[in-house]
Chain A
């Protein structure tokens, strides 16, 4: 399940945000602090997560302290999905 979440997020980020479909995103790669994704993309990411996994990420959580990597983000999603 974890791998599924990560790979779904990875492909969303590579295709929709970075526009480099073949670009691998490592699960421990910093996303926000490194500048790969910016504040405008964070809202997209939150909407995508809600539509795909049915969990809500509040706007106050959209920052580097809540998550900066795919792994942290997938943990957050899992904790909301109760699995």
Chain B
């Protein structure tokens, strides 16, 4: 099978009645979606795209709530041979004007042909798309007429080639929207093949798997591990809503127990969040013994977070062997490595000083000053990993450098950005921007080259936040810095903004601080943890006059102590 469309149509023909997705929604009864219903729902979208004269190979942007319309429209675009890209939608907290701006910048680069959204949002999309000539159709989910699939074999999606683009994936933030990761059918299929093998998915050893996910589908972890992989491999998927999970993390445990879930993926902060925020009364009769792997992925993995999770859920049957890890990125479709499946996760006890200042990850001699590094495991099949220096030369074992990868499931390009695509590769190796080292074949990630902030698995570009905060009156334009500080208690980074203001008046400062918080939340959906207002010339600049993020971060941390 060479394309995604062929794969799901094949399941529709062979096992139409098998449940592909069990959709759980707050307070609603579960909704079972069989392969037959999946094709039925997707077919209606494929026909609507055809009627609107959208061609295969054109981009269709999906701005929809987590639910069946999102599922059907995604596969509908694929059945038509078009390229779906799922975008986060406007929440009550986000400011429409700002959201519109980020949609506009996405449209300008991606040049989509169609947009599918919910009825209440149609007007907003119309306004945002008014300057983009490529957009020929804007659909509301209400426009979609169900119809019986006839002449399935004529669907244009079945005529695609393995090397055609199947989907685009954007990371969050305005800056992130400027690069859509374009993936081919072949890349997605290769990834799923290698990754299923690394997971021992549905193997004779572990039996039939059941995947449980609450992750959003606009992110690679949710889209690939928690959506496309289970559907393509005919592994039952229990799909929860991210909005329900964040308000009631106990529902994940109850769902695992009820459906006998075996595999889940979580960003590191979720280990802390579940361990700290689940009440004993919500765990009555919960049995987590079916969980064979809970895979930590998409932000730095922390040993303490695993311990916290294990201690909290051990009394409910959770097994230490089920703790697993993965290093993943959309540019490799998803997983680069997998750990904790065939043997327990390897922990490397490092000398703290060597990690902070050195170039070599030195094992610790005494435990007082040790950092427990959690291995991300070994590369999956057909993915190679090496660590390189600034010139691109390969470094030996335990030397910290940039992680470079090569695989049979790499991105085709950053969509419409040949400049960025070219810059990301050296001699066929993709430079990830992540720093790390290799020891005995295990891959460890220690940090990042770029000033990226990761909050709860979501990538935040500090430049976006600095620009937003700089727009607040009283703040000196260009005299703002944003960075992340890791908080062990919550297991993820907290965002700090430091801004230079002229006023000494405390009330005025509170007002300015509030306005910065408000603008940042309404523009990026991220809550700031610290807003620090300082006098003129507090911020350290580089010799070229730019605000130095890491130097200011050090200065802030020194003052906090």
| Any B CB within 8 A of the CB of A41 | yes
Kindly list chain A residues whose C-beta atoms are within 8 Å of the C-beta of B456. Answer: 40
Nearest CB of chain B from residue A67's CB, rounded to whole Å: 13
Kindly list chain B residues whose C-beta atoms are within 8 Å of the C-beta of A33. Answer: 92-93
* Stretch of B178-186, B416-424, B510-518, B542-550 with 4 or more beta carbons under 8 angstroms from chain A: B510-518
Query: A63 to B93, alpha carbons, bound, how many Å?
Result: 11
Nearest CB of chain A from residue B110's CB, rounded to whole Å: 28
Kindly list chain A residues whose C-beta atoms are within 8 Å of the C-beta of B279. Answer: 47
Kindly list chain B residues whose C-beta atoms are within 8 Å of the C-beta of A40. Answer: 246, 273, 456, 490, 527
**Most chain-B Cβ atoms within 10 A of its Cβ — which of A41, A43, A47, A59?**
A59
| Any B CB within 8 A of the CB of A34 | yes
**Most chain-B Cβ atoms within 10 A of its Cβ — which of A24, A33, A39, A42?**
A39
Kindly list chain B residues whose C-beta atoms are within 8 Å of the C-beta of A55. Answer: none
Nearest CB of chain B from residue A43's CB, rounded to whole Å: 5
Nearest CB of chain B from residue A18's CB, rounded to whole Å: 8
Main secondary structure of the interface of A (DSSP, over half): loop
| Any B CB within 8 A of the CB of A62 | yes
Given contacts A43-B249, A43-B277, contact A38 B521 (CB under 8 A): yes
B246 near A35: Cβ-Cβ < 8 Å:
no
Kindly list chain B residues whose C-beta atoms are within 8 Å of the C-beta of A34. Answer: 514, 517-518, 521
A32 near B277: Cβ-Cβ < 8 Å:
no
In chain B, what residue has the closest Cβ to A47?
Answer: B277
Query: A28 to B343, alpha carbons, bound, how many Å?
Result: 55
| Any A CB within 8 A of the CB of B425 | no
B518 near A35: Cβ-Cβ < 8 Å:
yes
A19 near B529: Cβ-Cβ < 8 Å:
yes
| Any B CB within 8 A of the CB of A37 | yes
A42 near B247: Cβ-Cβ < 8 Å:
yes
B520 near A35: Cβ-Cβ < 8 Å:
yes
| A 29-55 binary contact with B (CB < 8 Å = 1; else 0) | 000111111111111100100000000
Tally inter-chain residue pairs, CB-CB below 8 A: 60
In chain A, what residue has the closest Cβ to B281?
Answer: A56
Query: A41 to B490, alpha carbons, bound, how many Å?
Result: 11
Nearest CB of chain A from residue B521's CB, rounded to whole Å: 3
Query: A34 to B522, alpha carbons, bound, how many Å?
Result: 8
Nearest CB of chain B from residue A53's CB, rounded to whole Å: 15
* Those of B524-559 within 8 Å (CB) of chain A: 525-527, 529-530
* Those of B453-467 within 8 Å (CB) of chain A: 456
| Any B CB within 8 A of the CB of A15 | no
A19 near B530: Cβ-Cβ < 8 Å:
yes
Kindly list chain A residues whose C-beta atoms are within 8 Å of the C-beta of B393. Answer: none
| Any B CB within 8 A of the CB of A23 | yes
| Any B CB within 8 A of the CB of A60 | yes
Partner of B510, one of A23, A38, A64: A23
A59 near B527: Cβ-Cβ < 8 Å:
no
A38 near B247: Cβ-Cβ < 8 Å:
no
B93 near A60: Cβ-Cβ < 8 Å:
no
Kindly list chain A residues whose C-beta atoms are within 8 Å of the C-beta of B97. Answer: none
| B 23-39 binary contact with A (CB < 8 Å = 1; else 0) | 00011000000000000
Query: A59 to B243, alpha carbons, bound, how many Å?
Result: 10
| Any A CB within 8 A of the CB of B248 | yes
Partner of B247, one of A19, A59, A64: A59
A43 near B93: Cβ-Cβ < 8 Å:
no
Query: A15 to B384, alpha carbons, bound, how many Å?
Result: 47
In chain B, what residue has the closest Cβ to A36?
Answer: B517
In chain A, what residue has the closest Cβ to B251?
Answer: A59
Query: A72 to B183, alpha carbons, bound, how many Å?
Result: 48
Query: A43 to B490, alpha carbons, bound, how many Å?
Result: 13
| Any A CB within 8 A of the CB of B244 | yes
A35 near B93: Cβ-Cβ < 8 Å:
yes
Nearest CB of chain A from residue B92's CB, rounded to whole Å: 6
Query: A63 to B91, alpha carbons, bound, how many Å?
Result: 12
Kindly list chain B residues whose C-beta atoms are within 8 Å of the C-beta of A23. Answer: 510
Residues of B within 8 A of A (CB): 26-27, 92-93, 243-244, 246-249, 251, 273, 277, 279, 456, 490, 510, 513-514, 517-518, 520-522, 525-527, 529-530
Listed by A's residue number, 21 A-B pairs whose Cβ atoms lie within 8 Å are A32-B93, A33-B92, A33-B93, A34-B514, A34-B518, A35-B93, A35-B518, A35-B522, A36-B518, A38-B93, A38-B521, A38-B525, A40-B246, A40-B527, A41-B527, A43-B248, A47-B277, A47-B279, A59-B26, A59-B251, A63-B247
Residues of A within 8 A of B (CB): 19-20, 23-24, 32-44, 47, 59-60, 62-64
Given contacts A35-B517, A38-B526, A60-B247, 8 further A-B contacts (CB under 8 A): A33-B93, A35-B518, A36-B518, A36-B527, A43-B246, A43-B248, A59-B244, A60-B27
